Structure 1
């Protein structure tokens, strides 16, 4: 199954909103760290429901936002949600991560929330990001599917498309190879998901409370920040 087909099905089932709700716990911290100034142009790769751009429009007064997604139904839903929110400075396009439909040095900041690992060629994606970013522009790449997060390894078994599972060092190396200086890299914990008391374990999803705590409070989301 293609990425487009997989996520078109998710959009049709309303799972785009479910992803938004789950990822918001850490996404809001990622977005708050972005050095976005009023009037900046921001690109969101793998935009899903479009929530990162709407949040940035609300809090950082971006001048223009572009959400790119490989799934037409995701982009259609994002347009509708954004229209309802009254943001006329945000647009959505269907496209590939490895061939961004933007001119060189035309984007101030790029963000990708829990989508980079779906890229068919992550090295090409990073080169494309470096191409479209203006000097001094940033890429904020957030992933919860990565090597150190051992609790994420089984996720590949539950999805019909190939995913890239790099470790933190591989992210840093790939950023640098693409021409992006690595500014910071750290883990953002999910401090909001409810973790039941030990007496309620095992659950349907977790053998032990310790494993659940490790997954959400320790590993959380890996954020790598690159600068053009």
Structure 2
């Protein structure tokens, strides 16, 4: 089954909201770190008498593999981002995301990561949570991101499926789609090859998923409490931050 078909099914079953709830544990920490310039700040700077013609107030954000669209909406609400686009390969995910907001500055499009429907140097920052590894060609996807990001723009790439997280290695079989499993070092190398400076890379722990006491193990999903602690508290989410050169 293709990625779009599988996640169309998830959207039709209402599982997009469950994804949002689980991902928010670490996504919110990554989003808080993004250097997004909001509408109010941008408008103030443009009124300083500078003769240069101002851009549209507020940064333009791309949420790559947006699912329900929660990340982009959060950046509008918390950082006053100027314009937010969410892109997803699954048409039903896009349809659901559109239904969750009436904000005219937030839009959702169906498309693939290797052919982004945006002009060169048109995006200030990109965020992707638990989606990048679904790209059919992740190197081509990074090249496309480098094309559409303005010089100095950032790509915050957050994944839970990666080489060091041994507890995620079975996910492709469980989900039924192909996924690219890179190590932290491979993410850094791929970012640099695409023209990004790697500004940061770290693991963001999930401190909100409840972990039962040791006597409750094994559970349906975990053999030992140590494994579950390692998955959520140690590996958590791998966040790689690239800056477009």
Query: Shorter-chain TM-score category?
Result: over 0.9
Q: For structure 2, list consecutive stretches of 5 or more residues without a partner in the other structure.
A: 39-57
- Answer whether contact 1:50 1:82 (CA < 8 A) is retained: no
Contact (CA 8 Å) 1:110, 1:138: kept in 2 or not?
A: yes
Q: TM-score, normalised by structure 2?
A: 0.91
Structure-2 separation of matches of 1:4 and 1:216: 27
Establish whether residue 76 from structure 1 lines up as the match of residue 92 from structure 2: no
SS at match of 1:196: coil
Residue 163 of structure 1 is matched in structure 2 by 179
The within-5 A match list for 1:1-228 is 1-38=1-38, 39-83=58-102, 87-228=103-244
Point out 4+ residue stretches in structure 1 off by more than 2 angstroms: none
Q: Which has the larger radius of gyration?
A: 2
- What is the root-mean-square deviation in Å for CA atoms of aligned residues? 0.5
- Find the aligned partners of 2:229 and 2:125 in 1 and give their Cα distance: 32
> In 1, distance between residues paired with 2:3 and 2:213?
38
Figure out how many residues of one structure are paired with residues of the other and give that number: 225
1:200 shift after superposition: 0.8
> How far off its partner does 1:79 sit?
0.3
Query: Gapped runs of 5+ residues in structure 1?
Result: none
Superposition deviation, residue 2 in structure 1: 1.2
